């Protein structure tokens, strides 16, 4: 897509944007997962970090896209699909040992909320620089751990659903592959 706009002095400037995929109102949750997160699963299992972030005005479908509904397989959102794909890949025996930890937090009006903490008992969270190459982390955020992929379920990974929120879900995998 090329956007042309008039700049000061009558000049024109062109901006070019590339899209990997365009999803329509007829796209399914499976279409959204296949186009966005499914290609990232092997990279995450190889040790790279990936982020899925929904941003937009209230009522535009962020929560539905990210979480979906537990009423049917067809309407599961990106989070439960990604969690199931990671855990399914880990259960295939390619990895000798693994540890999956999930943190679930809300960013709303520049405030961080730990959605794994019991309602009414949520600690103050701070965004801190870890130093070195470790990057930024959220101090005080809980993690739910899963070591055995045979006991998996979407509810264990996406433990607490919240309406109309900006919800990053952090899944960290630690482990070793067979033969490495």
> What's the pLDDT tens digit per position in 137-152?
788 888 777 554 433 3
Structure tokens at 149: 């992929």
Q: What is the per-residue pLDDT for 179?
A: 42
DSSP state string for the chain:
-EEEEE-GGG-EEEEE---S----TT--HHHHHHHTTGGGHHHHHTT---------STTSSHHHHHHB-TT-GGGB-HHHHHHHHHHHHHTTSSEEEEEEEEEEEEEETTEEEETTSPTT-PPP-EEEE--TTS-EEEET---EEE--GGG--HHHHS----SS----EEEEEEEEETT-
Q: What is the per-residue pLDDT for 146?
A: 58
The CB density around residue 148, as the number of other CB atoms within 10 Å, is 11
Handedness of CA 6, 8, 14, 15 (dihedral sign): negative
- Across the chain, mean pLDDT equals 76
Predicted TM-score of the model (pTM):
0.67
Q: Tell me, rounded to whole angstroms, the distance of Cα 6 from its chain centroid.
A: 37
Q: Determine the Cα–Cα distance for residues 14 and 179; give it in Å rounded to an integer.
A: 51
In this predicted structure, which of 38-47, 93-102, 165-174 has the lowest mean pLDDT?
Answer: 165-174
Sorting pLDDT into bands at 50, 70 and 90, what band is 125? confident
- What average pLDDT score do residues 147-164 get? 38
Whole-number percent of the chain with pLDDT over 70: 79
Using one digit for the tens of pLDDT, what is the confidence trace for 54-68? 888 888 888 889 888
Does pLDDT of 43 surpass 60? yes
């Amino acid at each position: 897509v090329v956007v042309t706009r008039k700049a000061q002095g009558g000049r024109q400037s062109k901006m070019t944007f590339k899209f990997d995929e365009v999803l329509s109102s007829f796209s399914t949750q499976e279409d959204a997962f296949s186009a966005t997160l499914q290609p990232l699963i092997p990279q995450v299992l190889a040790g790279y970090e990936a982020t899925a972030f929904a941003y937009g005005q209230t009522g535009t479908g962020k929560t539905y896209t990210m979480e979906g509904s537990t009423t049917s397989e067809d309407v599961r959102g990106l989070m439960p699909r990604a969690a199931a794909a990671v855990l399914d890949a880990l259960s295939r025996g390619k990895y000798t040992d693994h540890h999956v930890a999930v943190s679930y937090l809300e960013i709303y009006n520049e405030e961080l909320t730990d959605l794994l903490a019991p309602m009414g008992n949520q600690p103050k969270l701070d965004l801190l620089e870890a130093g070195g190459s470790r990057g930024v982390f959220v101090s005080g955020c809980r993690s739910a751990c899963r070591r055995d992929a045979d006991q998996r379920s979407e509810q264990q990974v996406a433990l607490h659903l919240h309406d109309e929120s900006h919800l990053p879900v952090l899944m960290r995998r630690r482990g070793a592959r067979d033969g490495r």
